[in-house]
Amino acid sequence: MVPRPEGAHWIAGAVSLLLGLLLVSEVLVGPEVFRRRPWRAYLFPAVVIASSVLLWLITIFSTFSTMHLLAHAVWAQAALSAGAVQLALVRGKLTSPAWSLVPGVALLVSGAAFLVHEPNDWLYSRSAFLHHAIGWLLVISALFPLGQALRPRQLVWRAGFAVTFVLLAVLLFADRDSATIFGRFGAGAP
Amino acid sequence: MRRALLLCAVAALVAPTAALGHVILESSQPVTQSRLEAPPNEIRLRFNQAVTVSPGAIQVLAPDGTLLSGTATTSEEGRVVTAPVSRVVRGAGYTVRWRVIGGDGHAPAGVFTFGVGVPAPPPTEAVGAVAATWRDDVTRWALFVALALLIGPLVVRLVVVRGPVPARVERGFHLLGVVSAFLVIDVGIVAFVVRASNALQLPLGDLLYGDLQPFAEKTRFGIAFLAMTLGFGIVAAVLLLAWILERPELRWPALVLSLALASGLSLSGHQATEDNAGWLSQAADWLHLVAASVWAGGLVALAFLVWPLAPSLRRNAFLGFARLAVLLVGAMVLAGSYLALTRLPEASDLWQTQYGRLLLLKLGIVALALTWGAAHHFVVRPRFEAGGEPDVRHSLAGEAAVALTVLLAAAILTNAAPPPVEPPAANAGSAR
The last residue of a domain, from among B125, B155, B175: B125
Q: Which of residues 106-165 of A touch B (CB under 8 A)?
A: 119-120, 124-131, 133
| Contact yes or no for A49 and B237 at CB 8 A | yes
Whether B10 is covered by a domain: the verdict is no
Whether B431 is covered by a domain: the verdict is no
Mutation target vs B (from A127, A137, A171; most B CBs, 10 A cutoff): A127
Picking from B31, B34, B29, B35, the residue whose alpha carbon sits closest to that of residue B118 is B35
Determine contact: A87 vs chain B, CB below 8 A: yes
Whether B11 is covered by a domain: the verdict is no
Return the SS3 of B210: strand
pLDDT of residue B417: 84
The last residue of a domain, from among B102, B125, B148: B125
3-state SS of B290-351? Answer: HHHHHHHHHHHHHHHHHHHHCHHHHHHHHHHHHHHHHHHHHHHHHHHHHHHHHHCCCCCHHH
Whether B1 is covered by a domain: the verdict is no
H/E element, B407: helix B393-415
pLDDT class of A121 with cuts at 50, 70, 90:
confident
**Residues of chain A with C-beta less than 8 angstroms from the C-beta of B248:** none
Residues B63 and B164 grouped into a single domain: no
Contacts of B360 (CB under 8 A, 6+ apart): B350, B351
Which of B13, B186, B222 shows the shortest C-beta gap to A174?
B13
pLDDT of residue B251: 97
pLDDT mean over A98-116: 92
Whether B426 is covered by a domain: the verdict is no
| Contact yes or no for B244 and A88 at CB 8 A | yes
Whether B13 is covered by a domain: the verdict is no
Tens digit of each residue's pLDDT (9 = 90 or more) over A64-75: 899 999 999 999
Residues B153 and B119 grouped into a single domain: no
pLDDT of residue B13: 46
Number of separate domains in chain B: 2
Q: Tell me the domain boundaries of chain A.
A: 5-173
Indicate if the pLDDT at residue A181 is higher than 50. Answer: no
Phi, psi of B201 (to 5 degrees): 55, 55
Determine contact: B236 vs chain A, CB below 8 A: yes
Mutation target vs A (from B5, B14, B20; most A CBs, 10 A cutoff): B20
Which of A64, A70, A174 shows the shortest C-beta gap to B213?
A64
Residues B95 and B152 grouped into a single domain: no
Rounded to whole angstroms, the Cα distance separating A179 from A4 reads 12
| Contact yes or no for B213 and A6 at CB 8 A | no
Could you tell me which residue, B18 or A15, shows the higher pLDDT? A15
Residues B111 and B208 grouped into a single domain: no
Residues B166 and B293 grouped into a single domain: yes
| Contact yes or no for B193 and A73 at CB 8 A | no
Phi, psi of B95 (to 5 degrees): -115, 135
3-state SS of chain A? Answer: CCCCHHHHHHHHHHHHHHHHHHHHHHHHHCHHHHCCCCCHHHHHHHHHHHHHHHHHHHHHCCCCCHHHHHHHHHHHHHHHHHHHHHHHHHHCCCCCHHHHHHHHHHHHHHHHHHHHHCCCCCCCCHHHHHHHHHHHHHHHHCHHHHHHHHCCCCHHHHHHHHHHHHHHHHHHHCCCCCCCCCHHHCCCCC
pLDDT of residue B428: 43
Q: How many CB pairs under 8 A join A and B?
A: 176
pLDDT class of A187 with cuts at 50, 70, 90:
very low
Whether B6 is covered by a domain: the verdict is no
Lowest average pLDDT, out of A2-11, A83-92, A130-139, B388-397, goes to A2-11
Residue B63 sits in a domain whose CATH number is 2.60.40.1220
Could you tell me which residue, A154 or B80, shows the higher pLDDT? B80
- CATH class for domain A5-173? mainly alpha
| Contact yes or no for B19 and A127 at CB 8 A | yes
H/E element, B164: none
Tens digit of each residue's pLDDT (9 = 90 or more) over B109-160: 999 999 999 999 999 999 999 989 999 999 999 999 999 999 999 999 999 9
Rounded to whole angstroms, the Cα distance separating B341 from B387 reads 43
pLDDT of residue B425: 54
Rounded to whole angstroms, the Cα distance separating B252 from B254 reads 5
User: Do you find a cis peptide bond into B30, omega within 30 degrees of 0?
Assistant: yes
| b (16+ CB within 10 A) / e for B350-377 | eeebebbebbeebbebbeebbebbeebb
pLDDT of residue B7: 60
Residue B196 sits in a domain whose CATH number is 1.20.1630
Radius of gyration, CA atoms only, chain A: 17
Confirm if B41 and B85 have CB atoms less than 8 A apart: yes
Indicate if the pLDDT at residue A183 is higher than 90. Answer: no
Could you tell me which residue, A129 or B322, shows the higher pLDDT? B322
Closest chain A residue by Cα to residue B204: A66
Rounded to whole angstroms, the Cα distance separating B104 from B383 reads 69
| Contact yes or no for B229 and A52 at CB 8 A | no
Determine contact: B16 vs chain A, CB below 8 A: yes
Whether B229 is covered by a domain: the verdict is yes
Residues B76 and B168 grouped into a single domain: no
Residues B119 and B140 grouped into a single domain: no
| Contact yes or no for A176 and B19 at CB 8 A | yes
| Contact yes or no for B20 and A59 at CB 8 A | no
Tell me the average pLDDT of chain A.
86
pLDDT of residue B423: 62
Residues B356 and B403 grouped into a single domain: yes
The last residue of a domain, from among B125, B146, B167: B125
Q: Which of residues 180-209 of B touch A (CB under 8 A)?
A: 182, 185-186, 189, 193, 196, 207-209
Residues B317 and B397 grouped into a single domain: yes
Question: Using CA of residue B268, residue B271, residue B276, residue B278, what is the dihedral sign?
Answer: negative
**Residues of chain A with C-beta less than 8 angstroms from the C-beta of B245:** 91
Rounded to whole angstroms, the Cα distance separating B397 from B350 reads 31
Residues B215 and B309 grouped into a single domain: yes
| Contact yes or no for B12 and A171 at CB 8 A | yes
pLDDT of residue B344: 86
Closest chain A residue by Cα to residue B240: A84
pLDDT of residue A5: 64
Picking from B409, B395, B308, the residue whose alpha carbon sits closest to that of residue B359 is B409
What is the span of the domain harbouring residue B152?
134-415
Rounded to two decimals, the ipTM of the complex is 0.87
Residues B163 and B276 grouped into a single domain: yes
- Stretches where chain B sits below pLDDT 70 are 1-21, 422-432
